[in-house]
Structure 1
Amino acid sequence: MNEFKPLVFSGVQPTGNLHLGNYLGAIRKFVALQDTNDCIYCVVDLHSITAQLVHEDLRGQIRSIAAAFIASGVDPQKHIVFNQSAVPQHAELAWIFNCVARIGWMNRMTQFKDKAGKDRENASLGLLAYPSLMAADILVYRATHVPVGDDQKQHLELARDIAQKFNIDFQEKIRATGQGVDMVVGEEPIHGYFPLVEPLIDGPAPRVMSLRDGTKKMSKSDASDLSRINLMDDAETIARKIRKAKTDPDALPSETEGLKGRPEADNLVGIYAALAGSSKADVLREFGGVQFSVFKPALIELAVNVLSPITGEMRRLMEDTTHIDGILRQGGERARDRATKTMKEVRDIIGFLQ
């Protein structure tokens, strides 16, 4: 074995309603990546219980994420779509990685500090160890690439640190078992088992902000439903939310420099650009000098045209849970086959009896 086979892995948590930010920032990229890569897309339901243990309808949320993948254009026959808890090897490798990772590494994770808040002592151990499970999600398939946003870059760096430490600590055993790949860690050539996963960054990711406050990210946890466009919203609801979106009294500028200090204007122009597959500069060349009373109807028309087919297909899929469950079950079986092979080799490398 001379090199790692290129493989893309990514996952989405089944917590709350998916919104426009999730679609533009992640799911649409999943669809594009599948054309040129071998892909595994996961509904990370184990992660969903780290911050909130009890969910009202976790099964429904899992199905909703899977429906969004498929309705957006992910092909579950050519690639793998499954839910994380169906593959117990994720949790098994996460435990091993808990023993590889250092407490100091975990304490540096800014997302834990943000989610735990001031009451860190009352946060779950799972929330602290979340990045270790994320590393296991990726590396149990020996994935080589992960599409990431700004909020996950630190976790991906940790996955690389965990893989690197495992490879160095076990390099002689990896070589003895014949399971590894010649690679360079830093400037040192070693025989490693896990790839040092690379981020996939395809240009600047659209940062979709709240429709009620252009300084805050669009979030499914926001108390106001008017702050976001949900993927399950119908055309009338989308139109109402965009009409009510916060703006300022000035006309749109003709150049992007004029968006500085105007977060709501910048957000709406950015949403239009992302939905149209163009740039903010292109949008302003078309709409520079016009009032929001003209721009918002154009944005409504575009958003409805892009999102309505996805919404309709999601609704159809959610009405047939047997079909969704079948896709997840088949995907879980295919994922389990790959993960089982990895864990057999990892146990051999560590020295567990099998």
Structure 2
Amino acid sequence: MLRFCLSKRFYAKSAAKSVQTIVNPGDVPHDGTVFSMIQPTGMFHLGNYLGATRVWKQLNDSKGPAQTLVFGVADLHAITVPKPDSAQFRESRLGAVASVLACGVTPDRSILMMQSMIPEHSQLNWLLGTMTSMGYLNRMTQWKSKSQSSGNTDSVKLGLFAYPVLQAADILLYRATHVPVGEDQAQHLELTRYVAHQFNSLYKRDYFPAPQTLLTRSKKVLSLTDPCKKMSKSDGDTMSQIYMNDPPEIIRQKIRKAVTDSITTEFYYDSVGRPGLSNLIDIASGVGDTSVAQVERDIAHLRDYRSLKDYVSDLLIAELTGPRQEYKRLIADRGYLLSVAAEGSRRAREIAHRTLAEVMDLMGF
């Protein structure tokens, strides 16, 4: 088990070597275009919040007059795992919009769109797919992991194999200069740069920029019950995740039951030797937007896990109270959520339509 954790962390570290890390959203150029999307899982968990939407809020709040911020719900990506319950899927899409808004992204400063409302995503996906090698896609780490877990690669669907091309199309459609992603998505940004280079080289135009990766301080939040796995709704174990709308008593219960270890004389960060403790430190670092070293100093006086877990719980409760209350208000206003998604998608499509027209012209269509 520890070897598995080590190999995943080694890959993430090595994959990040070629990308630029910007923690301060104010470092995005004054005329930059930021693009990012999140899957429609309904109510977000802590990993979604720290790894994506809180960063979106920081970018939203610091947005300059010439910057473009496009944030979206990746509902086309969501069906790489079939969604037979269409009613539930529809509600999850709206729940994602509510979650993004509850985290503080505002429609007046950012474009908040629904991927499926903009057909240019799928159109550019096909065009770029014709110049993306299967060999490159076959090397994608997430594809390997998911296909191997199925036990039979013959049963794995094409969408799962090819979705990194759609992800590249999503980003390049807005000619994004910066993309905030989690550590596990760094390889997909490398593919996006590869696809952009392929297009530019083939048509001898410097058309698509090579988007830079924004890695936040909280790169990955792990499961509370198995700290060798990423926190994910697909886990099925609700105790493994903190949801944005969890009330304080539930947050305390989940953190108190989080897997740690038997060493209580001192608390220090060791992602391989002490993954459970290190996950709690990572969470505190992400919530407090501070370094791991600072968290270690802040908890140096604690001498038992109950005190440490109470410390982490207090941080989480204070951080999530506002978003939880706002989500409850927003999710009850279905009409407003639909209007935000429709207007944001309209604004996004204006950009997308222009890009696709230029791409097709360069290609001779």
Q: Tell me whether the two structures share a fold, i.e. TM-score over 0.5.
A: yes
Counterpart among 157, 164, 167 of residue 197 in structure 2: 164
Alpha-carbon separation, structure 1, partners of 2:140 and 2:356 = 27
How do 1:61-76 residues align onto structure 2 when only pairs under 5 Å count? 61-76=92-107
Counterpart among 220, 236, 254 of residue 249 in structure 2: 236
1:216 aligns with 2:229: yes
> 1:322: which partner in 2?
335
User: Which sits farther off after the overlay, 40-49 or 298-307?
Assistant: 298-307
The residue matched to 1:8 in structure 2 has which SS? strand
1:199 aligns with 2:213: yes
Alpha-carbon shift at residue 304 of structure 1 (Å) = 0.9
The residue matched to 1:100 in structure 2 has which SS? coil
Counterpart among 286, 296, 299 of residue 287 in structure 1: 299
Check whether the contact 2:41–2:95 (CA below 8 A) recurs between aligned residues. Answer: no
What TM-score, normalized to structure 1?
Answer: 0.87
1:41 aligns with 2:71: yes
Check whether the contact 2:42–2:94 (CA below 8 A) recurs between aligned residues. Answer: no
Calculate percent identity across the aligned residue pairs.
Answer: 40
The residue matched to 1:209 in structure 2 has which SS? coil
> 2:82: which partner in 1?
52
Unaligned runs of 5+ in 1: 172-190
Structure showing greater Rg: 1
How do 1:48-197 residues align onto structure 2 when only pairs under 5 Å count? 48-56=78-86, 57-117=88-148, 118-171=151-204, 191-197=205-211
User: Which sits farther off after the overlay, 248-257 or 299-308?
Assistant: 248-257
Alpha-carbon shift at residue 67 of structure 1 (Å) = 1.3
Check whether the contact 1:5–1:144 (CA below 8 A) recurs between aligned residues. Answer: no
Counterpart among 36, 43, 47 of residue 10 in structure 1: 36
> 2:16: which partner in 1?
none
RMSD in angstroms over aligned alpha carbons? 2.1
1:26 aligns with 2:52: yes
1:263 aligns with 2:294: no
The residue matched to 2:234 in structure 1 has which SS? coil
The residue matched to 1:200 in structure 2 has which SS? strand
1:335 aligns with 2:361: no
| Count of residues in Structure 1 that have an aligned counterpart in Structure 2 | 329
> 2:3: which partner in 1?
none
Aligned amino acid, residue 133 of structure 1? L
Check whether the contact 1:8–1:146 (CA below 8 A) recurs between aligned residues. Answer: yes
Change (3 A) 1:311 1:92: same
Unaligned runs of 5+ in 2: 1-29
Alpha-carbon separation, structure 2, partners of 1:342 and 1:231 = 36
Alpha-carbon separation, structure 2, partners of 1:55 and 1:194 = 38
Alpha-carbon shift at residue 5 of structure 1 (Å) = 5.1
The residue matched to 1:22 in structure 2 has which SS? helix
Deviations 1:298-353 (A, max 9, x none): 2222211111211111111111111111100000100011111111111211122x
Check whether the contact 2:193–2:210 (CA below 8 A) recurs between aligned residues. Answer: yes
What TM-score, normalized to structure 2?
Answer: 0.85
The residue matched to 2:225 in structure 1 has which SS? coil
Moved over 6 A (4+): none
Alpha-carbon shift at residue 61 of structure 1 (Å) = 1.1
Alpha-carbon shift at residue 213 of structure 1 (Å) = 2.0
Alpha-carbon separation, structure 2, partners of 1:149 and 1:52 = 24
Alpha-carbon shift at residue 247 of structure 1 (Å) = 2.6
Alpha-carbon separation, structure 1, partners of 2:352 and 2:284 = 40
